[in-house]
Structures are given as structure tokens and as C-alpha cells.
Amino acid sequence: MARLANKTALITGGTSGIGLETARQFINEGARVAVTGSSAASVAQAREALGDQALVIQADAGDVAGQQAIAAQVRQAFGTLDAVFINAGVADFRPVEAWDEAGFDRSFAVNVKGPYFLIQALLPLLANPASIILNTSINAHIGMPNSSVYAATKAALISMARTLSGELIGRGVRVNAVSPGPISTPLYGKLGLAEADLKAMAAGILAQIPAGRFGDPVEVAKYVVFLASDESRFTVGSELVIDGGMSTL
């Protein structure tokens, strides 16, 4: 079944983890796909993984001016966009006393400001109908220690899904959010923790998941395909939680 046949899509942070798996699923469903990545190495890896089936763009998700450049490249390649998955983000976990202004600003730039201005830059490209999906987090709903800044950025995206839905639905653009819980992705390896600390953190998180395991990126990607497809045309301003029951405790 090609649920995204003849559709075009942009996936930010599409060179690893949830983003890369979503790109694969979109391609399997018939879409033409562009993905962004933050480093030359990740871009090269994505080009190897996706081949000529995707346009791969190197971009800094937190650079406002760079969002216009992404829009220009997508316009040149596709002309219009049917779906956007705002997935790029940074997860920086620190106790409140360890935060500094630079780190705080970086988290909000990558997770909130950049995505907001990317949406603005893409507005002229969006088809009618079109779908925007924001990748948020259950951290916006639970009181996990050391996640205060990260959780705040994700709560901002959930709010954005609702407010932009009200603003953009008149032009045929649906905005929704997915909120994953712990997913087995390279994200955890980027936290800068020693291996022993990383294992301890994973064990502590696992104990809080009623399903008894971490999620798989494909389990999020399948929801994103649904939200990008016409099957979800009556789903507007919603948040789909994919967390193995963690936020129900």
C-alpha cells in the first residue's frame, strides 16, 4: 500500500534514529523525501543509507537564517510540500544548578526557535491539503529530574501544534504532534555520559515503562506516516503518545 504516493515530504533530523526510519517508511509508502542533518558525517551516512531516493541537506536546526536556505532547496527540488516532520532536536539533561545561558539558549534554538521559523519559511511551499507533524516528548508531561529545559522545549512544541492548527487549518494545513517515550536511538549516546552511567540511566528508565522495553524507531515512524497520509485528514491539533505506558504511571 502506497499511502504517500505522489506526495513530497521534508524530515528534519532525518539522518539517524526516528528521522531516518521515518524517511525509509515515507519512501516505502511512495513519497519523495528530503531530509536534513547537522553534520557532514551524518549527511554522508544518510546518503549511503537512502541512496538517490532522498535529497539530503546539511543544516543547523537552530540557525534561523538557515531555515530559509532549507526552504529554497526544497522548493527547487520539489516545488511544493505535502508533509513536514519536524524531528530535529537536542536532548540536554542537567540538574537545574548546572545550566548556563548558552546551553539554555541552544536547547531552545534547536528545539523551538528553529522549527518555528522553518515552518514560517515553508508556508509558501505547503500544498492544500498538507500535514505538519512535530516530534515532541512525554518529558513535557512527566516530572523527570534533570529534564527541566528539555521538557520545557517539548511542551512549547505541543502548544505550537494546537495554536498553529487553529491558525493554519483554514489554508488546509493540519498540525499534529507525536510524543515518544524512551526509544532505542543514537540519542542516548550523545548525552556525554560514561558507559556505566548510561547503563544505569537506561535501567532506571526501563523500570518506569509498563511495556517492559524501550520503543523502536519504526513504532514512531508508522504513526508519522499515518499523520502525513490522508487517512488522518480529520486529525487536527492532536498529540499521539507513544511511550509504552510510561506517562500513565
- Is residue 150 part of the annotated active site? The answer reads yes
CA atoms of 229 and 211, how far apart (whole Å): 28
Please give the C-alpha separations between residue 57 and each of 30, 98, 120, 195, in angstroms, as whole numbers.
Answer: 20, 34, 18, 32
* Exposure on the CB side of residue 137, measured as CA atoms within 13 A: 25
Phi, psi of 46, deg, nearest 5: -70, -40
**In the sheet where 8-11 sits, what is the strand order?**
54-58, 32-37, 8-11, 81-86, 126-135, 173-180, 239-242
d(CA 4, CA 140): 30
Query: Which of 116, 150, 188, 223 does the annotation list as catalytic?
Result: 150
Residue 206, C-alpha cell as written in the block: 526501563
Spell 150-172 as b/e; 16+ CB within 10 A means b: bbbbbbbbbebbbebbeebeeee
Which residues are part of the catalytic machinery? Answer: 150
